[in-house]
Amino acid sequence: MSTTTTIDPGELRKALGSFATGVTIITARGEDGAPAGLTVNSFNSVSLNPPLVLWSLANSATCLPAFKAAKYWAVHVLASDQDELSRRFARSGGDKFAGLEIETSASEVPLLKGCMARFLCRTASQHQGGDHVIFIGEVLEFDRTESAPLVFHRGRYAHATTRDPAEPKPRAAHLAGSFSEDFVGYLLGRSHFRFFAQIRPFLEAEGLSDMEFYVLSALTLKPLLSGDQITEGMAGVLDERRHAALDTLVARGLARLQPDGYELTPRGREAALNLIAAAKGIESQVLERLGPSDSTVLKSLLNRLLTAIDNHNPDAL
């Protein structure tokens, strides 16, 4: 460790930001009756018996007087989809509660909805801690829901995804540098093909090849697509077989060529929607096994991966 004699606050903030936290909004009723609240990630539990939690608030915070005077306050642990709410309560000034649907505790504390967990607390003690005041509160009431948490790490919002107790390790590879399970190309290929293998019986029932299904699907994206747009919209998914696939779809009366491009026929649209519905049914089963929180993160990461792959051509439909 560097034997720094003077601490650089910027560097210290970065180092402290290494510790990931959930995100909470803490609310109270000011002495003037106005609701007060702010986003806090310095929350933590202290004791189970008696049930105590703590958080800290900057001496400079405009709502400090309200919290110092408040007998009661509520901690709201935010869910993954509440990042907007978090931003709203992180700003200083303005009526942060405007337009929000608020409940009120018997002790008059304003309560927010849609949170992962809420704790109604009575101030147990306050301690001065440098440029912050540490509030310790006794939990009087609480509730919680099953949802994914909003996480804060290195100054940014993050998702949390459960790890398996025994995380899959890359299996022993025969050759150094072989095409192993740790290789993203392999994982993507295998995931894609295995997933698609479950959809294929539905395609076979319709007498469609993979490529014909891709083209059919591309045609659902817009009413009319030129050959170029089809290629672009499904860029990378279509290869030279798309021409034959288009011809087949036209020959089978599922698509037709108009002056400005290709469109689905009513029968083609019906077939496409049925197949997509079947594919989504498969997807639901798979994602249910993966769990809602991890499914959200997987989709988000695949979208980001696509951006990373397509770094030099971020076009496409």
Q: Which residues inside 179-208 make contact with a second copy, applying CB under 8 A?
A: 179-199
User: Least Å distance between CB 275 and a second copy?
Assistant: 9
Q: Which candidate, 54, 33, 35, 39, places its Cα nearest to that of 119? A: 54
Q: Are the CB atoms for 203 and 254 separated by under 8 Å?
A: no
**Does 314 interact with a second copy (rule: CB under 8 A)?**
no
User: Least Å distance between CB 281 and a second copy?
Assistant: 11
Q: Are the CB atoms for 97 and 37 separated by under 8 Å?
A: yes
Ramachandran quadrant class, 166 (left: phi over 0; alpha: psi -120 to 50; beta: rest) = beta
Binding mask 239-268 for a second copy (x = CB under 8 A): ------------------------------
Closest to a second copy by CB, 253 or 281: 281
Q: Which stretch binds a second copy (CB under 8 A): 61-69, 89-97, 249-257, 283-291?
A: 283-291
Closest to a second copy by CB, 237 or 250: 237
Tokens coding 178: 């072989």
**Does 227 interact with a second copy (rule: CB under 8 A)?**
no
Q: Which stretch binds a second copy (CB under 8 A): 5-13, 29-37, 64-72, 92-100?
A: 5-13
User: Least Å distance between CB 95 and a second copy?
Assistant: 23
Q: Which stretch binds a second copy (CB under 8 A): 26-34, 65-73, 251-259, 292-300?
A: 292-300
Closest to a second copy by CB, 65 or 189: 189
Q: Which stretch binds a second copy (CB under 8 A): 64-72, 88-96, 240-248, 288-296?
A: 288-296
Question: Please, which of residues 45-64 interact with a second copy by CB under 8 A?
Answer: 45-54, 56
User: Least Å distance between CB 282 and a second copy?
Assistant: 8
**Does 3 interact with a second copy (rule: CB under 8 A)?**
yes
CA distances from 50 to 123, 124, 142 (A): 13, 11, 14
Question: Residue 40: what are its φ and ψ, rounded to 5°?
Answer: -140, 130
What is d(CA 21, CA 18) in angstroms, rounded to the nearest whole number? Answer: 9
Question: Residue 294: what are its φ and ψ, rounded to 5°?
Answer: -70, -30
**Does 39 interact with a second copy (rule: CB under 8 A)?**
no
What is d(CA 108, CA 126) in angstroms, rounded to the nearest whole number? Answer: 21
How many other CB atoms sit within 10 Å of the CB of residue 70? 24
Binding mask 113-142 for a second copy (x = CB under 8 A): ---xxxxx----x-x-xxxx-x-x--x-xx
How many other CB atoms sit within 10 Å of the CB of residue 99? 7
User: Least Å distance between CB 152 and a second copy?
Assistant: 9
Looking from the CA of 45 toward its CB, the CA atoms found within 13 Å total 10
Q: What is the DSSP string of 27-47?
A: EEE-TTS-EEEEEES--EEEE
